[in-house]
Amino acid sequence: MSTLKVLMIGDLVGPAGVKMFEKHIASLKKQYKADVIIVNGENSADNGRGITPTIADHLFDIGVNVITTGNHIWAQSKIFGYIVTQPNLLRPANYPSKCPGSGSTIISVGSYKVGVINLQGRVFMREYLDDPFRVIDSLLTYMKTQTDIIFVDFHAETTAETAGIGLFLDGRVSAVVGTHTHVQTADARVLPGGTAFMTDLGMGGSLNSMIGMKKDIMLHHLRTQMPVRFEVDLEPPYVMSGACIDVDTQTGQSLKIEPIRIVDNQGLF
Ligand SMILES: [Fe+2]
Ligand SMILES: [Fe+2]
């Protein structure tokens, strides 16, 4: 039996998240002997909203295999044209089919095919999206003819909806992990059918921020309900979080999921 090791990293928020990733990804890859790196880049632009072609290219250059996203995917308009040319930058698969880009990809890793699917939840999210359960059912009809090694990033607000997708897909995909809340959960485990599951990977960015943004501005907004412009927090310490998943390449089932959380007290700027 051979094992494929996959690093999945949660939402990188602004330059703090991107720089944390740059600083630590090589040693993480070595430590976990990772074969594949999947990162959520929906907040990686300088202002924490969306992703630019330059940042996407940079993440691919430093070893990322697939970038997943979520509700902030369209925040930087330059990405509209880029996503059509880059099949490994995903937008959620249950966005309207006329949206540019794709919600799934299959990459080659050595002699293996690895599928990655990005979906967005609907509970407490603003976008009116297709049913993620129905969409992934039909996506898997094709993808399972190509490979059983399949990773799902479910970008969602509520823990219950993510648990629902995880349990719905148990035994059919290698892993279901959540993103979007930016808060890492302590429930990583392999479900009975062999699907690795974790409700949220957490984020990369300034640790004592509010989900990566400067706390003073967000607190002002919460306390007054006045409109504000959120700003990315660049202050140390920083965090980067995610998980490493070991998959049996014969069956596509996961053997292990190990949460990752790095805290770095040194300045990055
Ligand atoms: Fe996010
Ligand atoms: Fe999000």
| Whole-angstrom distance, CA of residue 69 vs CA of residue 63 | 17
Ligand closest in space to the Cα of 154: 2
Q: How far is the CA of 51 from the centre of ligand 1 (A)?
A: 11
| Whole-angstrom distance, CA of residue 156 vs CA of residue 63 | 26
Q: How far is the CA of 110 from the centre of ligand 1 (A)?
A: 31
Sign of CA dihedral 107, 119, 156, 149: negative
pLDDT digits (tens, 9 = 90+) for 219-238: 999 999 999 999 999 999 99
Q: How far is the CA of 170 from the centre of ligand 1 (A)?
A: 25
124: exposed, middle or buried (Cβ count in 10 Å: 0-12, 13-18, 19+): exposed
Known catalytic membership, residue 182: no
Nearest C-alpha neighbor of 258 from the set 187, 180, 207:
187
Q: How far is the CA of 251 from the centre of ligand 2 (A)?
A: 31
* pLDDT reported for residue 210: 98
Ligand closest in space to the Cα of 156: 2
| Whole-angstrom distance, CA of residue 52 vs CA of residue 18 | 12
Low-confidence ranges of the chain (pLDDT < 50): none
Q: How far is the CA of 82 from the centre of ligand 2 (A)?
A: 20
**Pure H helices in the chain:** 14-32, 53-61, 79-85, 132-146, 159-169, 215-224
Q: How far is the CA of 69 from the centre of ligand 2 (A)?
A: 7
* Token pair recorded at residue 105: 């990809």
pLDDT digits (tens, 9 = 90+) for 17-65: 999 999 999 999 999 999 999 999 999 999 999 999 999 999 999 999 9
* Token pair recorded at residue 211: 């989900």
Identity of the residue numbered 104: S
* Token pair recorded at residue 33: 């002997």
* pLDDT reported for residue 217: 97
The residues with which 213 forms a beta bridge, in sequence order, are 210, 232
DSSP code for 140: H
* pLDDT reported for residue 202: 98
Q: How far is the CA of 70 from the centre of ligand 1 (A)?
A: 7
| Whole-angstrom distance, CA of residue 86 vs CA of residue 38 | 15
In this structure, are strands 36-40 and 66-68 parallel, antiparallel, or unpaired?
parallel
Catalytic residue selected from 24, 72, 155, 180: 72
Q: Which domains does the chain have, with CATH numbers?
A: 3-264 (3.60.21.10)
DSSP code for 146: H
Ligand closest in space to the Cα of 157: 2
